[in-house]
Amino acid sequence: QVQLVESGGGVVQPGGSLRLSCATSGFTFSSYGMHWVRQAPGKGLEWVAFIRYDGTNTFYADSVKGRFTISRDNSKNTLFLQMKSLRPEDTAFYYCAKASCSDNVCFYFDQWGRGTLVTVSS
């Protein structure tokens, strides 16, 4: 049974930093690309970042490029999102999502964690 459990959310001041983690189990983590997707309270879904199964390639939404870094530790089956220079508009639930992949090409999100809330406020 696939499990994705996010942690690390909380309240942070504008300009601050936070590191989110996503602990995974129930699948071969090192074989799949992974995403972060966020959702501001009461709003829609926004894709944030993607990392290839081996960490060699990453992609970011323009809204977070240069401020957020996605990474992974395949030895610990864990995904990370380092967030810096946080802004009030970054306030959201952050979900990690497993990609459905084939031959190292990844597509839709087939499993989601329950999310962790990040609040950027003074």
Partner 1 sequence: DIVMTQSPDSLAVSLGETATINCKSSHNILYRSNNKNYLAWYQQKPGQPPKLLISWASTRESGVPDRFSGSGSGTDFTLTISSLQGEDVALYYCHQYYIVPHTFGQGTKVEIK
Q: Is 114 in the site for partner 1 (CB under 8 A)?
A: yes
If the CB atoms of residues 86 and 113 are measured against partner 1, the closer one turns out to be 113
Query: In 3-state terms, the chain is what percent helix, strand and coil (to 5)?
Result: 5, 55, 40
Options 8-16, 21-29, 84-92, 109-117: segment touching partner 1 (CB under 8 A):
109-117
Does residue 29 touch partner 1 according to CB under 8 A? no
CB of 50 closer than 8 Å to CB of 35 = yes
* Of residues 50 and 68, the one with the C-beta less far from partner 1: 50
